[in-house]
Structure 1
């Protein structure tokens, strides 16, 4: 029998959530973890963000990590929580692979300390020695690996908002091939700065001068864009037989991840959603999941693709939800946080709500807007974003295969 790939641990850093316990609480309550700020855009314009306010104190006070960018610290913290949850130890002695999804990395982090300005003034001495390391995304991954004690296969996946979901896809391939016996896999991103704010404002994809009633609201015709957010999430993946030998609790099963690309011009967007629908159709394989944990984030061009998929594949009968209404869009970490939230809903019996939406313009869809307590056994997950990549996953309640 084909070996199942199971989850034995997870860890989270998300807006207003320093750990899994807090993350679970907010999912169950439908808590808005977003804020409105006026210090990132010109002229005091307002935008909506999701920031992490606690949970990094022990790292920030440790002189070993004083030059580390925030994205790395988030990954270290979430990764360690996952490792402890899975009761893994002596990682350097095991065939463990590390797979990290990163989309925007340390761009704009204060470790760069005005480097561009200094270079333009011809003063190279003021450029931080860390620049070349953390401008290289794989240095972020290797720093996380060093902290966790992983010396085996180490990969960085950077495919936009699908990065961490595609990191899971790669980890599954390595596990099924036998090249590794366990995978520490996830994603981390943090860009709450002027560079990101100006850049995404230019593309008209983020909220500007909208409040939390209207802005960054998934499945809402009124929303003018998404909320820039930061976060990190990590999973421990193992083959079922290995997890059973360790006598560790199995949280659930990841059946499949499918990814593809829209194949359109760099500055274009495929509004038909054809490739994303193909990926979702492949992972669902004719089944109707208990709900779809969707990419919808308040940017209409993305949310309309979710609507097209809902109609074509499920005739709007399957419930849809988006945790982005609570935590915003943490870029490369978004997929793994969707996976973790799906397993929380499976183990604790509820569908997390899409809060703040009135479903205006999306009335035909079956959108869950309040916490819905019921048995959840199977969840489909959708991701798509900049760069044209799409990724969909299918996760399930664990049942012993005998």
Structure 2
């Protein structure tokens, strides 16, 4: 059977830069940061003082509040982003869409750990009978996908990828395969996360993964010589993947086309990437081969770019290995310099940025880039966005556990 072409017809986002995709992208283009002091708990007892929190999010704008109180915050984010993406795509389930041909694939790296902490404290202080009966559905990572399907009425394949910081990218890639192979006409896909809690921050801090720079304006500095760790963030990104023929038949607007997906494992270490980004190299090569695109056709890479020593070093080396001399003609930027690291939602948000870079001809910058590292010598689009004709963009996501995912997006013609 001939594989179907798959396009993106809707986007939705809840991020530290704004509670919709348009606001977020406008601020990304201006090089603005969503990072600020931690307010979700008192950080007096931890060495990390900054995070990228979602601000002024109102669940009641997107769902019934009785139901919202029975959901984890990560699920609320997913529903909001999904409803915005569905609206953007012009989907009317039961009217112009067959609900049995509409699926959901939304990943989360951690799920409702924030609710687990609350309920565990209640369990210790007040006993087992005071634990919220909705605790389990509030914390399990698959509940974002489950709740979105209920809210939207999507009765097709319903799934969740849990691959740490690659969760959002793997979810989009796996959903792409479903549509490509004819298993659905449309998939609601992406990632969501809300794990800015005292225990999460303490755990990441104790493994020396987070930046201890107390200045929100400079804490996230991917590829900069003085980088000292990532900044934890929260939010959700959702896209609508659609069979091209189905999209054309209903007159849908198209952001771009997804043409390639690569997913590999490092088989090396639980947190440190394989030397020279060997697993990331294979993911990129696999994705380009899947897309039938030569390396020299790629214009932009939205890098995983976490602002940690090994990620930025090994991802740079991986890009050089895959692209050769063309690596020095590429634009490579990390939008985590502005959004922070959304963990399981990162790949989804960054997939949206890659699509918008293609659609609008604007490559987002890597802000806070002030001190070049002699080992990192690519064009990281320092501090200011630039205009460019972007025909092909790839987005890398590299997760703890050695999970590597690469998505290839192309201008729709």
TM superposition score normalised by structure 2: 0.91
Residue 30 of structure 1 aligns to a residue whose secondary structure is coil
C-alpha deviation, 1:80, in angstroms: 0.3
CA distance in 2, matches of 1:198, 1:15: 21
Q: Is the 8 A contact 2:263 2:286 kept in 1?
A: no
CA 1:145/1:365 → structure 2, altered by over 3 Å: closer, same or farther?
same
- 1:201-252 deviations in whole A, cap 9, x for unaligned? 0110001244245422100221211010001011111111111111111111
The answer to whether the aligner puts 1:167 opposite 2:171 as a matched pair is yes
Bigger shift: 168-177 or 328-337?
A: 168-177
Bigger shift: 342-351 or 89-98?
A: 89-98
The answer to whether the aligner puts 1:385 opposite 2:399 as a matched pair is yes
Q: Is the 8 A contact 1:60 1:66 kept in 2?
A: no
> What is the aligned counterpart of 2:310 among 301, 310, 320?
301
Q: Is the 8 A contact 2:104 2:187 kept in 1?
A: yes
Q: Is the 8 A contact 2:304 2:397 kept in 1?
A: yes
Gaps of 5+ in 2: none
The answer to whether the aligner puts 1:311 opposite 2:320 as a matched pair is yes
CA 1:135/1:228 → structure 2, altered by over 3 Å: closer, same or farther?
same
CA distance in 2, matches of 1:199, 1:383: 21
Q: Is the 8 A contact 1:92 1:149 kept in 2?
A: no
CA distance in 2, matches of 1:302, 1:53: 28
Bigger shift: 263-272 or 283-292?
A: 263-272
Aligned ranges 1:147-186 → 2 under 5 Å:
147-186=151-190
CA 1:224/1:6 → structure 2, altered by over 3 Å: closer, same or farther?
same
Structure 2 residue aligned with 1:73: 76
- 1:244-287 deviations in whole A, cap 9, x for unaligned? 11111111100011001101244654233101111112323432
Q: Is the 8 A contact 1:188 1:233 kept in 2?
A: yes
CA 1:293/1:33 → structure 2, altered by over 3 Å: closer, same or farther?
same
- 1:73-106 deviations in whole A, cap 9, x for unaligned? 1000000000011111115634111001110111
The answer to whether the aligner puts 1:133 opposite 2:137 as a matched pair is yes
CA distance in 2, matches of 1:108, 1:367: 34
CA 1:376/1:103 → structure 2, altered by over 3 Å: closer, same or farther?
same
C-alpha deviation, 1:387, in angstroms: 1.4
Structure 1 residue aligned with 2:54: 52
Q: RMSD of the alignment, in Å?
A: 2.0
Structure 1 residue aligned with 2:9: 8
Aligned ranges 1:75-94 → 2 under 5 Å:
75-90=78-93, 93-94=99-100
CA 1:88/1:61 → structure 2, altered by over 3 Å: closer, same or farther?
closer
